[in-house]
Chains A and B, each alone.
Chain A
Amino acid sequence: QKEVEQDPGPLSVPEGAIVSLNCTYSNSAFQYFMWYRQYSRKGPELLMYTYSSGNKEDGRFTAQVDKSSKYISLFIRDSQPSDSATYLCAMPSGGTSYGKLTFGQGTILTVHP
């Protein structure tokens, strides 16, 4: 069993739709949770990170963590064609906020006009 599981999609939605991206994890030591966005032929860039269970909002993006279920989500409101990318969940090892990241396999998102 992989430590982090993520539905690879691909996911195709119309502009303006609400998008839900999800990951599950098996390692209880994970305490910090990150979402990276990776455009085609680019390196990943940090989008959001959360620590505690609950929601964290940043503009059109909301990250949600449920530690009891080992389940994290990223919601994108009013999706735009510029949001088309691969979204990767990631968790630092050993319960820290830094160091080696364990990534999900990524969800490919396409937002069409």
Chain B
Amino acid sequence: EAGVAQSPRYKIIEKRQSVAFWCNPISGHATLYWYQQILGQGPKLLIQFQNNGVVDDSQLPKDRFSAERLKGVDSTLKIQPAKLEDSAVYLCASSFVLGTGGTDTQYFGPGTRLTVL
């Protein structure tokens, strides 16, 4: 079974520039998450999708971050304009179905490492 795919793996930009990250979840996984992991910290949820609808975006800085999940499969996360403090690893995760009972394991991609200069 193929895992969660993310691209690019690394990105270096200057502040005030724009950047976009792409995620392809595991086939059949309805729920998709974007987390931000700053160096030395645990991941923090930015946005959660169920199919192509947003479940939770309470911690997404909406003045500069946006995300979409067209057709309930792939997703893109965009930052415009980037700030120095956005330097982090952006992790995408997917899980089978929200609320099936039992534990709904989240499978993480390798992440995109963003450096803002």
Contact = CB atoms under 8 A, between A and B. Distances in A.
Interface in B10-66: 31, 33, 40-45, 48, 55-56
A32 interface: yes
Most buried by A among B43, B44, B102: B43
B95 interface: yes
A101 B110 contact: no
Contact of B110 (A6, A8, A41, A100): A41
A102 to B, nearest CB: 8
Interface residues of B, number: 30
Interface residues of A, number: 24
A43 B41 contact: no
Contacts of B77: none
B43 A44 contact: yes
A41 B89 CA distance: 9
A88 B105 contact: no
A66 B93 CA distance: 28
Given A98-B95, A104-B42, A105-B41, A46 B104 contact: no
Contacts, number: 62
Do most interface residues of chain A lie in helix, strand or loop, or is the interface mixed? loop
A90 interface: yes
Contacts of B4: 43
Contact of B99 (A88, A90, A98): A98
Interface in A85-102: 88, 90, 96-101
A90 B42 contact: yes
Contacts of A100: 33, 45, 48, 56
Contacts of A44: 43, 91, 108
Contacts of B106: 46, 101
Nearest to B91: A43
Interface in B85-115: 91, 93, 95, 98-111, 113
A4 B110 CA distance: 24
Nearest to A45: B108
Interface in A2-34: 4, 6, 8, 32, 34
B43 A99 contact: no
